[in-house]
Amino acid sequence: MKNLETYQLSVIYDRREMAESDDVSKESMKKFMPILNDYYPETLRAFYVLGANFFYRALWGIVSLFVSKRTEEKINLLS
């Protein structure tokens, strides 16, 4: 059995069919990213956002200021 510390997580957030009103708030992202950064930095392999629009890219530009460079490199915004 593998040690649990060797497992990594890839997250795919598909928002291609979502309305603009369904976007995650800036406040929610500010709360979520430090938790991911502080408690699960080695668990996350990659985080993909499918259908990232202008709003999402702008929001990520702000949120990325609050995460480590290592975590920032794992986030992928795809059109």
| Strands annotated E in 3-66 | 9-14, 44-50
Better-scored residue on pLDDT, 38 or 71:
71
Number of domains in the chain: 1
Residue from 44, 73, 42, 45 nearest 60 by CA: 73
Is residue 3 a part of any domain in this protein?
no
17/57: higher pLDDT: 57
pLDDT in tens, 18-69: 666 555 666 666 676 677 667 666 787 888 988 888 888 888 898 888 888 8
Give residue 56's domain range. Answer: 23-78
- What type of residue sits at position 54? F
Tell me the whole-structure pTM to 2 decimals.
Answer: 0.65
In a domain, 53, yes or no: yes
In this structure, is residue 32 part of a structural domain? yes
Give a yes or no: residue 42 inside a domain: yes
Tell me, yes or no, whether 16 lies in a domain.
no
Is residue 6, in this structure, part of any structural domain at all?
no
**Residue 31 is assigned to a structural domain of this protein:** yes
Provide mean pLDDT across the span 3-24.
70
